Amino acid sequence: MTGFEGATLAIDLLNITLLTLLFIIAIAIARLRSLFAIVMLSGIYSLISATWFVALDAVDVAFTEAAVGAGISTALFLSAMVLTARTAKPETGARRIVPLLVVIATGAVLIYATIDLPGFGDPNSPANTGVGTEFLARTYPEIAIPNVVTAVLASYRGFDTLGEVGVVFAAGLAVSLLLGFGERSLGASVRREDRLPTRSDEEEDV
């Protein structure tokens, strides 16, 4: 047991620090009215969550969170924000209180539910005794690739992943149907940009 307790303490401290940062950012997001700052803070929130997932040994989840949450969501939120106002209207009256009560109630229910959960990394938990060990034992003889996550995602649960790809595709389709493809609304400015270098051309337009 040489030094192991120290490592556990360090991991605990790291978890507490990261969760405190997440808490502070969440409060800041709830209190801010500037949408640009909120988008940036939610990107930072995702990045810190990803760090925390690494500390929990969930590298695949962390990677996805960093790429999707901190990367593309921030860009998409920014481009959506440009289409609307730059500040959120302050809420008044019951609209301030009711969401807080809902959040507190949900949080209390979730904390109550965690009492029944097995401890982190518990070798006797259902995840580590049932289907998890089954996949670990079967993946290499059956599929022969080292990354069990990829094997489960692409082969054992290929149909599930097909559904996810369908969802992503449908999201792209839905945005296109609602907002258009973007190229037609951009067309006019693209044509003008093409002509920018020649000054005389613009004067003709005016």
Partner 1 sequence: MKRDHHVILRVVAKALIPVISLYGFYVHFHGEYSPGGGFQAGVILAVSVILYSLIFGIAPAMRAVTPGFARFIAGLGFIIYVGVGFWALAMGGNFLEYDALFREEPGGHFGQHFGIIAIEIGVLFAVAGSMLTIYYGFAGRVSEIRDEDW
Smallest distance, partner 1 to C-beta of residue 117, A: 24
At a CB cut-off of 8 Å and minimum separation 6, what does 33 contact?
Answer: 87, 88, 89, 90
72 binds partner 1 (CB under 8 A): yes
How many alpha carbons fall within 13 Å on the CB side of residue 25? 19
| Structure tokens that stand for 202 in this block | 């613009």
Between 28 and 66, CB nearer to partner 1? 66
168 binds partner 1 (CB under 8 A): yes
Smallest distance, partner 1 to C-beta of residue 80, A: 5
Which listed residue (6, 109, 112, 159) binds partner 1 by CB under 8 A? Answer: 159
85 binds partner 1 (CB under 8 A): no
Rounded to the nearest angstrom, the gap between the alpha carbon of residue 171 and the centroid of all alpha carbons in its chain is 16
Smallest distance, partner 1 to C-beta of residue 184, A: 8
113 binds partner 1 (CB under 8 A): no
Smallest distance, partner 1 to C-beta of residue 111, A: 30
| Structure tokens that stand for 102 in this block | 């809902």
Using alpha carbons only, give the angle 169, 50, 108 rounded to the nearest 5 degrees.
Answer: 95
Between 14 and 175, CB nearer to partner 1? 175
Tally of residues, the chain: 206
Which listed residue (115, 123, 197, 203) binds partner 1 by CB under 8 A? Answer: 197
Q: Is 196 exposed, middle or buried (0-12, 13-18, 19+ CB in 10 A)?
A: exposed
13 vs 127: CA distance, rounded Å: 26
161 vs 164: CA distance, rounded Å: 5
Q: Which positions lie near partner 1, rule CB under 8 A? A: 59-60, 62-64, 67-68, 71-72, 75-76, 78-80, 82-83, 142-147, 149-151, 153-155, 158-159, 161-162, 164-166, 168-169, 171-173, 175-176, 178-186, 188-190, 193, 196-197
